[in-house]
Amino acid sequence: MTTVLGVALAAVVLSLTAALAYALLTSWRRMLQDEAPLPVFAMLDRRQVGDREDLESDALAIAARRCAFCGRKQECRAWLASAKSESCPPYCPNAGLFQG
């Protein structure tokens, strides 16, 4: 019985590892295929959050990473091009940075 349990546990661990590897690979490929500037920088300029030097380097790095891994960069660029007056798109992972 312990052999069956060990095999089942190994199968679960292997499945979870494969799912995690697939998710990381997909995010990495999405990030590398997009050669346009990240929308977060245009948004910082547009919202006049402050000079980039005023932001803590950690906060700017986290915001850039969130933007790089976001799957909605094309929608965000279209939103920025539309010149809407809202603070930021509702789906933006950096909404807290732009509102505060």
pLDDT digits (tens, 9 = 90+) for 67-77: 988 888 888 88
Task: Name the residue ranges covered by the structural domains of the chain.
Answer: 1-33, 36-100
Burial class of residue 66, CB neighbours in 10 A (0-12, 13-18, 19+): middle
**CA dihedral angle for residue 53, residue 59, residue 60, residue 65, rounded to 10 degrees:** 170
Q: 98 or 42: which carries more pLDDT confidence?
A: 42
What digits encode the pLDDT tens for the residues 21-32?
Answer: 999 888 777 767
CB proximity list for 80: less than 8 A, separation 6 or greater: 39, 42, 43, 46
